[in-house]
């Protein structure tokens, strides 16, 4: 069973906002989540491993990504 889609369609404006506002690690998480076929049960640890970043960095990136997607300013 393939874990990722063969093509990932992303909103370029949203992707740019994530990259410029939340940083490259949050963008990596954003893109990975868009490319996954099934997000159900995905953990921060799994995201960190798939993005080749430390878990603490992935946790912070997920936090920043959530703020951007919810339109909350820091």
The model's pLDDT over 1-58, given as tens digits with 9 standing for 90+, comes to 467 777 788 999 999 999 999 999 999 999 999 998 888 889 999 999 999 999 999 9
7 in a domain, yes or no?
no
Q: Which pLDDT score, from 0 to 100, does residue 74 have?
A: 80
Q: Which pLDDT score, from 0 to 100, does residue 39 have?
A: 84
3 state DSSP class of 73: coil
For residue 29, count other CB atoms closer than 10 A to its CB: 25
1 in a domain, yes or no?
no
22 in a domain, yes or no?
yes
Residue 22 to residue 60: CA distance in whole angstroms: 10
Tally of structural domains, the chain: 1
What residues contact 50, with CB distance under 8 A and at least 6 apart?
32
Is 64's pLDDT higher than 80? yes
3 in a domain, yes or no?
no
19 in a domain, yes or no?
yes
Residue range(s) defining the domain that contains residue 25:
12-70
Contact 26, 68 (CB under 8 A): yes
33 in a domain, yes or no?
yes
């Amino acid at each position: 069973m393939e874990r990722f889609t063969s093509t990932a369609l992303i909103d370029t404006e949203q992707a740019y906002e994530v990259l410029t506002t939340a940083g490259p690690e949050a963008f990596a998480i954003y893109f990975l989540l868009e490319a996954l076929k099934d997000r159900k049960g995905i953990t921060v640890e799994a995201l960190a491993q798939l993005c080749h970043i430390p878990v603490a960095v992935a946790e912070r990136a997920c936090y920043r990504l959530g703020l951007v997607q919810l339109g909350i300013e820091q």
